[in-house]
Chain A
Amino acid sequence: MIESVVGYLYVASAILFVLALKWMSEVKTARRGNWAGSLGMLIAIAATMIAFKVQRTDLVIIAIAVGSLIGVPLALKLPMTAVPQRTAMSHAFGALAVALVGTAEYYHRIPQISNFAMIVLTAEMILGFLTFTGSTVAFLKLQEIIPGKPFIYRGRNFVIGTVVAVIAVMAAGLIINPNNHFFLPVLIAAALVFGLLLVMGIGGADMPTVIAILNAYAGLSAAALGFVLDNQLLIVAGTLDGASGFILAILMCKAMNRSFVNVLFGGFGATASQGVIATGDVKPINIEDVYLMLEAASSVTFVPGYGMAVSQAQQVLRELGELLEKNGAEVLYGIHPVAGRMPGHMNVLLAEANVPYDQLIEAELINPKMPTTDVCVVIGANDVVNPAAKEDKTSPLWGMPIIEVDKSRTVIVLKRSMNPGFAGIENPLFFKDNTRMLFGDAKASIQALISEFRSG
């Protein structure tokens, strides 16, 4: 009796999870979606606690207390610039949880374990453990505990190939005879090393794609665990998460004109600089002239990148935007899908700075407006505005959709100094006739512009 009640409660949870995603589609209903998801989770946990009489409630309480002690301060105090790190960490936690339950389930069932269960369980553990170390490396890179540069060495693909071979042999051994339990620790170790090696080779600018791929893996491993435990709610929730990561990964790859394989094994940015090295004279500009230009402009578009987050310029940028609006200009923000360190990162940072979200315009929609835009201001973005993607077939960026700031009447690039951007690629934008370079810290420059407006 109680079992069937729990079954229906799980159905209610699954429906709430689906509604959560449906309502997430637009800003108006998104918060309702989050509440639906929370309610679904509450129902699922309560139903489970009642149906499966967990003996060690003391341990459950301790575990949930630990989770709250880490989770609550993390959610309330975390600066929005650090959201990519938290996301990487949550993929690590989620994947490890799933992998540990899979491991526990293996030891629980041995020696009675069907072939099918063993295949799924093996896949689930491999995915879970590699996502755990992969996401941990992503977290360390984003937090800048280890260098964000791709870690590339001779024979990288050979080393990774060897680890994959070890994983394959151990997996086959376990599936053929699940009682070969000494294979399991080796399999786990190899999967952990694989995740580590994979993400070590990936650079900071590729993080949006990598985070999305790890998201898909984490979701799929949860779904696989659902198959093993015969828990349909877990299959639904894991698959929804996996589908989301998968779609985001495709969008990120499209936004960079690259394939999954290329992101994971390419070691982008570490290769000796290919492509035509743009040369020419850059035309520096001072604050006063920028002020005069902006003052006269009737349409201004800001194009932010990760550099905006680094110099914490989003608040002052919004202030400048408001001053320009008061001055009669139309102010928009052009958002490239891979600007920042995770999908949607720039939108969150600007929303936090109180920029109205209807001013945040995605790349495809802002590009047609470029020829009629008076001034484009590029703040801490580089590759996403690099015209080499359209002009230079030998450029590693060739074919990547960009925000075509060079089509606007004037481009002002805020830049610390003349170094190549994150992917280490020269940017011919800096040498265009309609480009002016405003050197210095982005935040300080914008602040100076604000005081010009206030005194002018």
Chain B
Amino acid sequence: MHDNVVPVSINLLIFLLSAFLGLGLIKKVSKLLHTPLMSLTNAISSVSVVAALIVMAEPKNILILTLATIAVALAATNVISGFMITERILRMFKKDNGGKIK
């Protein structure tokens, strides 16, 4: 399963299209939201947890298993704290003073 079945050129195409898409989308993000944007993209890129799980599936030796397990823990921390803190930050943004004791 580790052998490349998809040609490199296809992966390169996916990379380039994602880059253009990403650059276009991020440019439109309001400056207000740059902090939660960072925590969100960080959580999303921690989909590397998937890669760590795949490596864990058939480890050849204990070193590989150990490295992959640590990687799962690290990436899982990012996934969990990343999405949760993004939600917490976004809840703080309010348009007016409504609902507050005056």
Note all chain A residues with C-beta closer than 8 A to B5. 230
Q: Cβ of A408 < 8 Å from any Cβ of B?
A: no
8 Å CB contacts to B: which residues of A65-119?
A: 66-68, 70-72, 74-76, 78, 80, 83, 86-87, 90-91, 93-94, 96-98, 100-101, 103-105, 107-109, 114, 116-117
Q: Which of A40-48, A154-162, A422-430 forms part of the interface with chain B?
A: A40-48
Query: Are A347 and B78 in contact, CB atoms less than 8 angstroms apart?
Result: no
Are B80 and A107 touching (Cβ within 8 A)?
no
- Residue of B18, B75, B83, B84 near A236 (CB, 8 A) is B18
Residues of the A chain whose Cβ atoms lie less than 8 Å from the Cβ of B72 = 59-60, 63-64, 67, 97
> What residues on B are CB-neighbors of A62 within 8 Å?
69, 73
Q: How far is the CA of A275 from the CA of B59 in the complex (A)?
A: 60
Q: Report the minimum CB–CB distance from B62 to chain A (whole Å).
A: 11
Instruction: Indicate whether A386 reaches chain B with its CB closer than 8 angstroms.
Output: no
- Cross-chain contact of A44 among B6, B40, B50, B100 (Cβ < 8 A): B50
Interface of B is mostly: helix
Chain A contact patch, size range: 35 or more
Q: What 0/1 pattern do residues 303 to 336 of A give for CB contact below 8 A with B? A: 0000000000000000000100000000000010
Q: What's the Cα separation between A230 and B6 when bound, in Å?
A: 7
Chain A residues contacting B76 (CB-CB under 8 Å) are: 63-64, 66-68, 71
Find chain B residues with CB under 8 A from A234 CB. Answer: 47-48, 50-51
Complex CA–CA separation, A72 to B82 (angstroms): 9
Main secondary structure of the interface of A (DSSP, over half): helix
Identify the closest chain A residue to B79 (Cβ).
Answer: A41
Interface membership of chain A positions 352-391, coded 1 if the CB is closer than 8 angstroms to chain B and 0 otherwise: 1010111010100000000000000000000000000000
For B72-102 the 0/1 string (1 means CB < 8 A from A) is 1111111111111111111111111100101
Q: Is the CB of A244 within 8 A of B26?
A: yes
A231 in contact with B51 (CB, 8 Å): yes
CA distance A352 to B35 in the complex (A): 13
Q: Please, which residue of chain B has its CB at the minimum distance from the CB of A357?
A: B93
In the complex with contacts A94-B48, A240-B18, A27-B85 CB distance below 8 A: no
Tell me whether B45 and A34 are in contact (CB under 8 A).
no
A218 to B41 CA separation, bound complex (whole angstroms): 10
Residues of B within 8 A of A352 (CB): 92
**21 chain-A/chain-B pairs, Cβ below 8 angstroms:** A27-B30, A27-B90, A30-B36, A34-B87, A52-B57, A53-B57, A54-B53, A54-B56, A63-B73, A67-B77, A76-B88, A94-B46, A225-B51, A230-B3, A233-B47, A240-B44, A242-B19, A244-B26, A343-B35, A347-B33, A357-B93
Q: Which residues of B contact A (CB under 8 A)?
A: 1-6, 8, 11, 14-15, 18-19, 21-23, 25-61, 63-65, 67-97, 100, 102
Task: A27-B95, A241-B41 are known; give 8 further A-B pairs, CB within 8 A.
Answer: A24-B33, A38-B43, A45-B53, A229-B51, A233-B50, A234-B47, A236-B14, A244-B37
